[in-house]
Structure 1
Amino acid sequence: MVKYYKQIIEDNMANKINIAIIGIGDCASALIQGVENYKKNPDKIIGLLPEIKQYSVNNINFVLGIDVNSNKVGKDLSEAIFIEPNCNIKLFEPKFLDAPVIKGPVKDGLNSNIKKIIPLDNNQLDSDVSKEIKKKNVDVAVILLPTGSHNAVKFYAMAALNAGACVINGMPSYVAKDPEIVKKAEDLSLSLIGDDVKSQIGATIIHRSLANLFPMRGAILDRTIQLDWGGSSDFCNLLTPRANGKLVYEEGKRQAKTEAVVANLQNKDTIECQISAVDYIPFLKNQKEAYMRLEGRIFGGAPVRVDITMFVEDGNNSAGVIADCIRVSKIAKDRKIGGVLHSACSFFNKHPPEQLEDYVAKIRLVEFIENKRER
């Protein structure tokens, strides 16, 4: 594996993939730390798909950040990723990247609980996002905004496309399922990957795998729950207080996670499935914990129950997947493929236009990478 990555780096060093990150939170922090660390230490590379041979992390070139946090605006990305409320584990300190963080329009990005922890400065003027993306010759724009920022996600996706950049949507809001955005991407021969990135070894992929195991082994899954909690700004954002003081889970996230877990089950319409974030616990920082329970029936109607708990650094769990998405997006751009990359969406995302079994999605993705499938 190490020899393989070193060879790619040597063969393809000059071909940069210019990246704009929209939303400089914990996932962005983990992504930038990881990529810059791997550039310096290729012998440490893990957590990336080896099938993507055209580009390595060494080709990923961060050139622009977009955020609304007044403490991050005006900083270089190498500095902004460590500014609160970011709390991702610090594994590597990147050198100066010459990648400024500009202020973008807030839109509906702070409509939830997260507005309590994001400082704004009305004296900071919104930048012309499309103009700045174009000026930086961005190849791929990565959207990592707070969950629930539906209008903001669409605005930034359209701005990126208008500037000539492919779009990766890491959030539950629709991009790959939005007809207007898809049409724009097709017309401009720019690719889309979305929606809602599926973590590398996350609660959703584990839950989905266990749920699919039941019918694979001839059993019936009757009901299942998943409860998540953590200390990152994402959990602060997911749980929004209503007027009665009750905390409400962001519905788009619930829908994306539920669909991802039960989508391929024949009895998906009758399974009792409850998925929810249960609390924001600041001292956990970017650590996420999850509990899953699956109840069903085996031979003779006998009951079976599976309980599992997991712990993970949440930002890093998505960052490697985003790095793979970036490399796949650049392959599509090289081939002038516009619109939804269905194989990539199905493999990398919880809420893709087409839900597939994970092994089928992986086969199709590899076929795309090897130019044996159009998209």
Structure 2
Amino acid sequence: MIKVAIAGLGNVASMLIQGIEYYKQRGENYYEGLITPVIGKYKITDIEVVAAFDISKNKVGKDITEAIFEKPNITPKIVNMEKKGVKVSPGPVLDGVAPHMIDVFNPVDDAKIENVIQELKDSKTEILINLLPVGSERASRTYARAALEANVAFINAIPVFIASDPKKEFPTLFQKKNLPLAGDDIKGQVGATILHRTLTSLFRLRGVKVEETYQLNVGGNTDFLNMKTEERLYTKRISKTKAVTSTLENDYLEREGRIRIGPSDYIPFLGNTKVAYIYTKGSGFAGMPVKVEAMLEVDDKSNAAAVLVDAIRGVKVALDRGIGGPLVELSAFYFKHPPIQAKDDEEAYRWFRKFIEM
């Protein structure tokens, strides 16, 4: 089994936990809907959640199979589950709750990170997944340090730059302890970022210069409500923007202010449905204009969970092989802001396959 812990038991965690159970109930050879059926020797049915941390009074102390349906979560029940015997432990609040989200999250009194470290050790966690709200800079780094102290690998699924830390603090620390580090900011299975990257890559491949582009996203869950505050969006915009501009020859779009990407609004009735509007305009043969407009509608949380189950298994392969530090190849394929960006997702996939098959 692959023993994982989750920091932040929100809607993505709900879909991840339910999704693992969904595939277990259908048998280990049922692969429909998965990106990669087997990674190394591991299937999705090998994943087991052994610990969870949250700051909401609605969830702390409850079994994870119950906590994932507590408010403000809105992910629907897709499978019946028996209790797992894994209770949600309180985590440190720090900057994990925006001022306008206090009433929504109903936070506990701040917990000590030492308790988190001990729980990781007691549960024999191998991989800690960071699923805190966007903008949780201090809290994310605190959990990363807890992973180091507990000697567990770390997957950073949100746009806080840990694996891609420009100062190399965390990459160096995880390398020294020979612990795998994957991130940052999880892509979707078929999400707005990967669709946008595909369009700009196509323009480049076919000799069309991208002149301007935008991506507007709306949704109705707490993720979008949390991101109504622009201060919490700073790294999110960087992450999504760099994921797209990395497919082009240089950063002229950013220099000239011809690109805008990021969450645009919170629309409650959309629930977990994310709607993305993508516009790309370029100039082709003899300077003639080319314009593409696309709309994508997806279940935001299943989109993320589909990628996480691959990332978990890839990190476990690294653990088995004694590989520590940032997992460059895996991160390039599964995350928006990896330590090193591939030129396009086909190249990133080749890197990932090479890593798995080495």
RMSD of aligned Cα (Å): 1.5
Q: 1:256 to 1:91 in 2, by over 3 A?
A: same
2:105 alignment partner, SS class: coil
- Do residues 157 (structure 1) and 140 (structure 2) align? no
In 2, are the aligned partners of 1:73 and 1:103 still within 8 Å (CA)? yes
- 1:213 paired residue number: 202
- Do residues 185 (structure 1) and 171 (structure 2) align? no
Give the deviation of 1:317 after TM superposition: 0.3
Q: Distance in 2 between matches of 1:153 and 1:248?
A: 16
Give the deviation of 1:112 after TM superposition: 5.0
1:131 alignment partner, SS class: helix
Q: Which residue of the other structure, out of 298, 313, 319, is the alignment partner of 2:305?
A: 319
Q: 1:303 to 1:125 in 2, by over 3 A?
A: closer
- 2:264 paired residue number: 278
Residues 320-352 of structure 1 deviation map (CA, whole Å, 9 limit, x = unaligned): 110101101111111111101100011111001
- 1:41 paired residue number: 26
Q: Which residue of the other structure, out of 221, 240, 244, is the alignment partner of 1:257?
A: 240
Query: 1:290 corresponds to which letter in structure 2?
Result: A
In 1, are the aligned partners of 2:200 and 2:247 still within 8 Å (CA)? no
In 1, are the aligned partners of 2:210 and 2:281 still within 8 Å (CA)? yes
Q: Distance in 1 between matches of 2:253 and 2:105?
A: 41
Q: Distance in 2 between matches of 1:290 and 1:140?
A: 31
The normalised TM-score by structure 1 is 0.90
Residues 24-63 of structure 1 deviation map (CA, whole Å, 9 limit, x = unaligned): 0111011111101100113364223135141011110111
1:1-375 to structure 2, matched below 5 A, reads 16-42=1-27, 43=30, 45-50=32-37, 52-122=39-109, 125-126=111-112, 128-178=115-165, 179-240=168-229, 250-270=233-253, 272-356=258-342, 357-371=344-358
Q: Distance in 1 between matches of 2:232 and 2:211?
A: 23
The normalised TM-score by structure 2 is 0.94
Q: Distance in 1 between matches of 2:180 and 2:111?
A: 30
2:292 alignment partner, SS class: strand
1:52 alignment partner, SS class: coil
Q: Distance in 2 between matches of 1:309 and 1:33?
A: 28
Q: Distance in 1 between matches of 2:248 and 2:305?
A: 28
Q: Distance in 1 between matches of 2:300 and 2:96?
A: 20
Query: 1:197 corresponds to which letter in structure 2?
Result: I
Query: 2:239 corresponds to which letter in structure 1?
Result: A
In 2, are the aligned partners of 1:51 and 1:366 still within 8 Å (CA)? no
Percent identical among aligned pairs is 40
Query: 1:30 corresponds to which letter in structure 2?
Result: M
Listed as ranges, the gaps of 5+ residues in structure 2 are none
Q: Distance in 2 between matches of 1:215 and 1:70?
A: 50
In 1, are the aligned partners of 2:213 and 2:260 still within 8 Å (CA)? yes
Q: Distance in 1 between matches of 2:31 and 2:39?
A: 17
Query: 2:25 corresponds to which letter in structure 1?
Result: K
2:252 alignment partner, SS class: coil
